[in-house]
Amino acid sequence: MTVKRPQAMQEFLDAITSAADRCVTDHNAKISLSKIREALQTPSKMSDEVGTQLPIRDSLEEVANPQCFHRPELRHLIETFLRLEPMLTWRRRSGDMSCASENFADGHANANIIGPGGIERRTDVWLGVTLLAPNVRYPDHSHPPEETYLVLSNGAFRHGDSEWFEPGIGGTFYNSPGIVHAMRSDSTPLLAFWLLWAGTK
């Protein structure tokens, strides 16, 4: 049976791959995104779960106003994301909370869009979003798949032995497989998309 994506999902995927094409400069990230783009040509099973919210979602209104994005590809990405967002299941992170700020539990939310637990269930591509309330420090963490971040707000990140750095709105960076990384918001919320390639080729 042919699987068809919801229109809101396809519009978002078109927007984020287009924005990534314009924003990403790292060579390894470009290779990873090429694999992701090719894999997403074939839709996978869609979840029948109803989207769920967390109180932190209120921060989304502050950081995701399309009129605040001057670059047209980022404004379009946010517009398509906001149409898709009611379908998302926002969750709190579980597991090791080393280095997290004391306000982390109620000050963050993650949502898988594609991948395990996402709207579209698959194992080769994990695509999702993280939202932090102001002044929240995400815990150090790592995972086997390589990862590319596309950042849509102010905020700081670190990976490996790096110092904290600020990609800026529309900034991107690449996490190699297994590298330890983290993020933190400043006086405003942090919003970032992450695209992981977990395939075998």
**pLDDT tens digits, one per residue of 52-69:** 888 887 899 999 999 999
| pLDDT value at residue 151 | 98
What mean pLDDT is reported for the chain? 95
Between the CA of residue 24 and those of 15, 32, 90, 119, 161, what are the distances in Å?
Answer: 14, 11, 26, 25, 22
Does 2 fall in a domain?
no
**pLDDT tens digits, one per residue of 29-46:** 999 999 999 999 999 999
Judged against a pLDDT cut of 70, whether residue 1 lies above it is answered with: no
Q: Print the domain residue range for 15.
A: 7-197
Task: Report pTM.
Answer: 0.96
Judged against a pLDDT cut of 80, whether residue 116 lies above it is answered with: yes
Residue 45 burial (C-beta neighbours within 10 Å; 0-12, 13-18, 19+): exposed
**pLDDT tens digits, one per residue of 134-191:** 999 999 999 999 999 999 999 999 999 999 999 999 999 999 999 999 999 999 999 9
Total number of domains constituting the chain: 1
CATH number at residue 20: 2.60.120.10
Does 157 fall in a domain?
yes
